[in-house]
Structure 1
Amino acid sequence: MVEQTATLLEQYSVRMLDMLEWLSRYGADEQGGVTRLLYTREWIAAQEALCIYMKEQGLEAFYDQAGNLTGRLKGTNPELLPVITGSHIDTVICGGKYDGAYGVVAGILALAYLQQVHGSPARTIDVISLCEEEGSRFPLTYWGSGNIAGNYSMNRIPEVKDREGITLEEAMSEAGFGPDSPYRSCLRRWDRYIELHIEQGFVLERSQQQIGVVNGIVGQRRIRVSVSGESNHAGTTPMGWRRDSLAGAAEMISYIRRSALEMGDPLVATVGSLQPSPGVSNVIAGETVFTLDIRHIDRQMLDDYTDRVHQKLRKIAGQEGLDMSWEEHLNIDPVLMHPAIINDLQRIGEMAGISYRLMPSGAGHDAQVLGSQRPAGMIFVPSRQGISHNPLEYTAAEDLMQGFRILTEWLYQYAYRGDRHETL
């Protein structure tokens, strides 16, 4: 019986690999990557395909007003709050096939396997394909999990637009969601959340560990810095009389890099976008806008460094005769994963003979949003060369299968066995 169960689990693992390839066709782009932006045709088609697949696996499938898609394996004890797993299927532009999608696909098949082998759990298990995490189309992140956690509300939809001027509310309505849609409220109650994800870094690969047990997720500050000077002729304006916004921004960016290096790991600070205007060779840039992404596992250190940079950039602007605006559009605090879940995952790894390491997540995940409300945990699998958000994103089949095995075991123990911790 044990051998048959192990064989069946391996069969589900193989199905998971095939399903990841299948899902990557939705939004496949010419560069060999995957582009599925929130509420676009490609994203809608992928969610609907997953909805059909969930039903075929015997799960109850339903949407909420934001567009989160849930597959439910109903428990026999209605007094127990559900345990949730899942991730997201939205991508960056020309992203990889594993980021987010792995956690959704693995969650669906874990529930299908558990139902086939063990029937109904005592505690309901939900797998959710969250409707947005990346923030690639609109300048906001965690829209899906944020609505579940109550950080966002259908009564106060953020007034943000995409690159084509389409508002979030317009896109959501066009996709069939929103406060006037027939779907259920986003708010829900749950007991615990666990997310399976690729590492998106190279720590596991370089340390030759099979699994990462995440102990915390870094906090993030994302800022839009606008530097204003004066556009003028590049040939007739003396150097000493210029109000060159690009030159000022360059000095600011150099300071950001130097100060981050001085502070040291695990702080990271990144300027990922730089847009001088008018952006032509013979005109001094009158305005320059750049983005700033700051991350740290300790909230106080994150706040202190952010304040320090803010003050220094204003000082540079004043010295150069420039104006500066500082617009913070993301403020997410670090979130520690729950100690009991961490201990469970370590023990499962040890019992299965799977090597693991405790590690923080330098990338943001839905687990930090849901983990700010209820206990949460995360499982990482290695990423080849640490590459992610890229068509070259890759995780070996064996590593994907090991992550699936750990997730399935944890769900079994918690939803079927409670604190008795019997193995599959």
Structure 2
Amino acid sequence: MNRLASIGGRPDGGVDRIAGSAADLTARRWLAERMRARGLVSRTDDIGNVFGHTSSVADRRLLVGSHTDTVPAGGRLDGAYGVIAALEVLTTLHEHGHPAADALEIVSFWDEEGAQPESSGGMVGSTALCGDPHLAEITGFMELHIEQGPRMELAGQELCVVDGIVGVDRHLIRAVGEPNHAGTTPFPLRRDAGRTMTRAAAAAHDVIRSVSDTLVGNIGSFALDPGAPNVIPGAAQMVLELRSPHEDVLTRCAETVLEQTRVIAAEEGCTVEHRILSHRPVIAFDESMRTLLEKTCRSTGRPVGSLYSYAGHDAGVMSAHVPTAMVFVPSTRGISHSPNEHTDDRLLTQGTQVLLEGVIAHHDSH
């Protein structure tokens, strides 16, 4: 993990390894070399996914892994932990001549993060694999990952089997008023789209927090038109993102926010336009694989829980095509996508041990 983190490493302890960068390509070559040094076969496909397996790999096998690309100024664990853990599992099985070794393949997916400005949203390598003939050789997928949030640490949990991935909706909400001179137009005569949208944004946060405790949301994009200090905005828009493991909660929240925005717009003499930018449905992971991993986690005797992931993962893409499951280990203070990302070595090792035993249990059950 330390060696990989040094590729694209920053003085503050973070990592810059954006997909397609020199550091990212160096890391992929390094990973392939590490596989070969351990007596494994490595190959890189046309999109950039790096695979590893034994020389006598079976025609049908379980896939395990994650990604090694990062966001700008990212941490050393996000994605990379799951790849190194997968390499350690396959190496251990191979060194001990365990039959599960030949029924296993490991992967570092290309561009999970989608951190480039021109990116289509990430999960590029896993999406490509799901359209590749190689998918027919895959019987299932397991991914080990840090939580990237504070819930496990707050609950005192050391391991969590992931139920699935939340749905994510993005809405573009636009207010249209009338641009006018900000110095000469009295307040009662204004049709101020900027004031409309700032009021709506404040109200939206209150709605999000009141609808459901499973719901989180964000307004991270906000624009005024024309954007001049002395011009009353004739138009303003925000992008509202909502995440929940319940589709009905996503729908109810969006409807309530829009209703309140229209009321506010009418008070300000403006109109409202709305369109859905994107909808990612709720993903539920395979029940039999979740049960297998839950049994494996509980065998450690350590505190175990279950939760939905509020971040996207390659496992979400894979789950539409093969039985898929994830295991989380805690993130210290819930910090991720940051040089301060950290998980104690004991917990990282424990998660890797669970992955190893989960792979063996999966092999024995098949």
Normalised by the length of structure 2, the TM-score is: 0.88
In the TM superposition, what are the counterparts of 1:206-355 in structure 2 within 5 Å?
206-277=154-225, 279-310=227-258, 312-313=260-261, 316-317=264-265, 320-322=269-271, 324-329=273-278, 331-355=279-303
> Given residue 214 of structure 1, which amino acid in structure 2 is its aligned partner?
V
Distance in 1, Cα, partners of 2:46 & 2:13: 32
Deviation at 1:314, TM superposition (A): 5.5
Q: What residue in structure 2 maps to residue 114 of structure 1?
A: 93
Answer yes or no: is the 8 Å Cα contact 1:66–1:186 preserved in 2.
no
Residue 88 of structure 1 pairs with residue 67 of structure 2: yes
Shift of 1:29: 3.8
SS at match of 1:357: strand
- Residue type at the aligned position of 2:291: N
Aligned-residue CA RMSD (Å)? 2.6
Higher strand share: 2
How far residue 122 of structure 1 moved from its aligned partner, in angstroms, is 6.8
Task: Give the gaps of 5 or more residues in structure 1.
Answer: 1-19, 151-184, 420-424
**What is the match of residue 7 of structure 1?**
none
SS at match of 2:306: strand
What is the percentage of aligned positions where both structures have the same residue?
Answer: 31
Task: Single out whichever of 398-407 and 92-101 deviates more from structure 2.
Answer: 92-101
Separation (CA, whole Å) in 1 of partners of 2:346 and 2:103 = 29
Preserved CA contact (<8 Å) 2:93 2:101: no
Per-residue deviation, residues 232-274 of structure 1 (Å, max 9, x unmatched): 4432333334343332221221232121112121011111233
Report what 1:61 is aligned to.
Answer: 42
State which of 45, 61, 65 in structure 1 corresponds to 2:26. 45
Q: 1:413 aligns with which of 341, 361, 365?
A: 361
Which stretch shifts more, 243-252 or 302-311? 302-311
Matched residue SS, 1:302: helix
SS at match of 1:191: strand
- The answer to whether the Cα contact below 8 Å between 2:212 and 2:249 also exists between their aligned partners in 1 is no
2: CA distance, partners of 1:228 / 1:34:
42
Alignment of 1:142-161 (within 5 A): 142-150=123-131
Change (3 A) 1:392 1:74: same
* Cα contact 2:292–2:362 (8 A) shared by 1: no
The Cα shift of 1:382 comes to: 0.9
Kindly state the Cα deviation for residue 205 of structure 1 after the two structures are TM-superposed: 1.3
Partners of 1:76 and 1:124 within 8 A in 2: yes
How many residue pairs match? The answer is: 362
Cα pair 2:148 2:334 within 8 Å, conserved: yes
Q: How far 1:224 moved relative to its partner?
A: 4.1
- In structure 1, the partner of 2:6 is 25
**Corresponding residue for residue 97 of structure 1:** 76
Q: Which amino acid aligns with 2:194?
A: L
State the match for 1:364 in structure 2: 312
- Output the CA distance in 2 between the equivalents of 1:230 and 1:93: 39
Contact 1:75 1:122 in 2 (8 A): no
- CA–CA separation in structure 1 for the residues paired with 2:242 and 2:305: 25
Contact 2:164 2:308 in 1 (8 A): yes
**Could you tell me which residue of structure 1 aligns to residue 135 of structure 2?**
188
Deviation per residue, 1:311-356 (Å, 9 max, x gap): 5545655664245353513x22112222222222222223332321
Q: CA deviation at 1:307?
A: 4.4
Matching of residue 70 in structure 1 with residue 51 in structure 2: yes
Match status 1:382 vs 2:330: yes
Q: 1:21 to 1:245 in 2, by over 3 A?
A: farther
Amino acid in structure 1 at the alignment position of 2:353: R
Question: What CA distance in whole angstroms lies between the structure 1 residues aligned with 2:53 and 2:191?
Answer: 59
For residues 25 and 243 of structure 1, the distance between their equivalents in structure 2, rounded to whole angstroms, comes to 55
Evaluate the alpha carbon distance shift between residue 90 and residue 234 of structure 1 in structure 2; reply closer, same or farther with a 3 A threshold: farther
